[in-house]
Each structure stands twice: as C-alpha cells, then as structure tokens.
Structure 1
C-alpha cells in the first residue's frame, strides 16, 4: 500500500530517471554513472542527482551500493512497476457491497415467515473485492444470505457462513441453489437435480437424505451460489 501511494507521487524527474536507468541497463548490461543520469534529465549537479536516487532507493524502486561505482539496480522495470502499483490501488478501491437479504436453512427445511428473506436492516451488506468475484458475475445481480444448518458441510458450507448468490429462476443439475418451497413456506440450500418426474434436492452431508419435490411448481429457485464466505470461529484457550 505504501509503495502504491509513493509511486503515484513520483515527480517527473523521478520517472525520467527510472526510465533512463531501465533503458541504459537493458542496452549496456550495467548501470549509468551519476553524471550520465544527470545529463539525461538536464541536471548538472551530481549532488542533486544523488538526492533523487536516494529518494528512489528509500521508496524501493532501486538498490545501490554507495561504495561501488555503477552499482545502481532497478528492482523492476519502471513502467511495469508503476502500472502494477496503480492497478493494486484500483483493486483495493474496487470493493463491491453485496446486500444481505436474510437467512437460508442448510438442513431439513423449516417453516419461516414469508418476510424472513428481508428481515435484515436495508443497510446490511458484505463488502467483497471485485477481483475475488468470478469475472462473469455482475454485482447488481448478486445478494447474500446467512447460512443456518449443516447439510452442506461436505461442500465447505458451514452453519454461520455467508453465501453470495446470483439471482436466478432456473438451475442446471449440480448447481447449489437457494430454493423456496411454496407449498410449505420453507427455505433450504441444496444441490439441484432434475429427474424424470421430480426434483431432487441433494444435501452434502452423508448423514442426511435428499428431499424430493414431486410437483416442480411448488419449488421456486431464488439464486445460484457463486461464493462462500467462511466464518472464522475462535478457539477457547
């Protein structure tokens, strides 16, 4: 983070020195002299050039041994380093808030009030770095639910975790989905499988059996899971 801030604050002379050092070393295989660096930026004072080099060294762009002539080493080509620093800043700033709409049951479905999926405060959200989300996902189509239950533990989804879902009304076999069972007013989180004459909701827990939905009209898919945010539990000493 400190490197990123400093790179954005480089003066024009700092940048010109880095560019000259990079080109000179690539062409000659060794570093230029202080005077050659000064000539490249139209500065006659070697002490002023040394001052700029000291600043670049303190910022981590170069290394050198003051006891040895022509010992300057660019730690990374200037243009690539600067681009990487700016990119890192943009990634840190690119945080996507995902609204938390409520709780989903990841065990045997239990009856819940119809308003359960909106019981959280409207301001509730989790912040995710955009770079962590699958590239194809559009943030405006995503929402989050807290997980209750342990039927998906073999899928690395535990009680208390938060899941990020993409809004969807259809699913493919093997998708992990959040579903609403209209005829029971119940929610559950399971793997979805469409069989010949029914829907199978498969848990990821060997101690639990599947749920069979004989009438697909009674099942409403709310979203497909795209990410799981694990809850870190502290261990008592």
Structure 2
C-alpha cells in the first residue's frame, strides 16, 4: 500500500527523472548501481532505500526477485511543476525464467555446470521491442554465464544470455553446446573445419577446443541477447 503524506526530497526527484529518461531511451530500467552513479551515491543499499521509499509512496513498482524490474506507475511533479509520464507498461515486457547456468570457460561436466538448475524466483524481464520480431517466445530460454572465456564478446561472469533453441549452427555462431563424449557443456563460437569442430573462446589468454568427432557436438541454442550483470 502506498504511504500517504510522505513528500519527495531532491534525491527522490533525481531518481524519478533518471528513471524516466533512462527508460524512455532504453525501454528497460537501470540497475541500482547505475541509479547510484547518477545521484552520486556509492552505497547500493542506500540507493535501494530511496527506491523502496518511492515504492511505498506509490510512484514505483518493482519485483524484488528480478533485476532491472523498476517501473514508474504514477506521474510526479518536479520543482518546475511539470508532470512526468510513465515510461513503459507491463504489457510491453517479456519475462523469462533463468533455467540454468552455462560455463564460459573450459567445458565442465553437466552435473557441475548447473545446467539443470532452476529457481522459480529467478527471472529476467526485457521490453518486447528488444527481441527481434521473428523470435518466438516459446523458442527462447535464458542461462546464466559462469566464467570469462567470452569477455572479448562482451559476455562476463554473471551475465544472463538469451538463447534461441537450435540444433545446427554455421561458422561464427555463438552457441551453447553439449559435448556428449564427456557429458560437458560450454558457451563458445562454433566453427566446422572439415572433419573436426573448433569451439573458439573470445579471450586471448585461452586457446580453442577441438573436437575430432563432429557427432559429439550437440548445439542447444544460439545467442540472441546478453543481459549485463551490473549490480
């Protein structure tokens, strides 16, 4: 329930203005750290405190279990008495559960990779307009990245990756693969080189992985989008 009678202070107004501008530009909400950087507060706990106050005042809505889930649900007036509008609605947002983790390092056995991990409260939300129109929601799934072999592809440890289900790939595709010979999974660039498969990392300190029997490489999905872990 919104708290009655509590008034905005300057930081509240700056947060609201930042949220409005950021969401209108990107069509998704900023992280707590990004909000803190804008208002000059290093403590994410303090920023979270201000956001919670705005939720209590009825200006914002958020899902505690979902990153980047802050929404403006009530217009406000800044010191110039100009009403600020809601940036986007729930109907424009797609919600995906994080179905597991995929390693971006040397392949590791499936039981240790948490590929089958599922937490019913772990979701990501993204604006529908960010997904290409030819992508069907039912063909998409999300995995959390563990490791740093794809850092030059701007995929870091803790990032969430949206995949489209696939069983085949062309050279240069970034894919999630299962290696049936060792029951291992990994995230790499795919290259078919005659009688072997090369799985190429995007990290100059790591070498490629060569699989001499292409039938042992099973494509699970192709990368569609990366959601940065900025918290």
Whether contact under 8 Å (2:139, 2:165) holds in the other structure is: yes
Distance 2:200 2:103 in 1: 13
Which residue of structure 1 aligns with residue 93 of structure 2? Answer: 95
Which residue of structure 2 aligns with residue 189 of structure 1? Answer: 187
Closer, same or farther in 2 for the Cα pair 1:205/1:118, shift >3 Å?
Answer: same
The Cα RMSD (Å) is 2.8
Query: Based on CA coordinates, which of the two structures has the bigger radius of gyration?
Result: 1
SS in 2 for 1:113: helix
Distance 2:120 2:197 in 1: 33
- Listed as ranges, the matches of 1:35-184 within 5 Å are 92-113=90-111, 116-184=114-182
Runs of 5+ consecutive residues of structure 2 not aligned to the other structure:
1-15, 17-80
- Listed as ranges, the matches of 1:211-230 within 5 Å are 211-230=209-228
Q: State TM-score, norm by structure 2.
A: 0.60
Q: Render the CA deviation track for 1:204-233: whole Å, top value 9, x for unaligned.
A: 011111001111111111100000011114
SS in 2 for 1:93: helix
Whether contact under 8 Å (1:114, 1:185) holds in the other structure is: no
Which residue of structure 2 aligns with residue 81 of structure 1? Answer: none
Aligned length: 155
| CA shift for structure 1 position 59 | 8.1
Runs of 5+ consecutive residues of structure 1 not aligned to the other structure:
2-57, 61-84
Q: State TM-score, norm by structure 1.
A: 0.59
Greater mean deviation of Cα atoms: 121-130 or 94-103:
121-130
| CA shift for structure 1 position 178 | 0.4
Distance 2:167 2:210 in 1: 18
Distance 1:185 1:112 in 2: 6
SS in 1 for 2:215: helix
Distance 1:198 1:187 in 2: 17
SS in 1 for 2:152: helix
Q: Which runs of 4+ in 1 moved over 4 A?
A: none
Considering fraction of residues, name the structure with more strand: 2
Considering fraction of residues, name the structure with more helix: 1
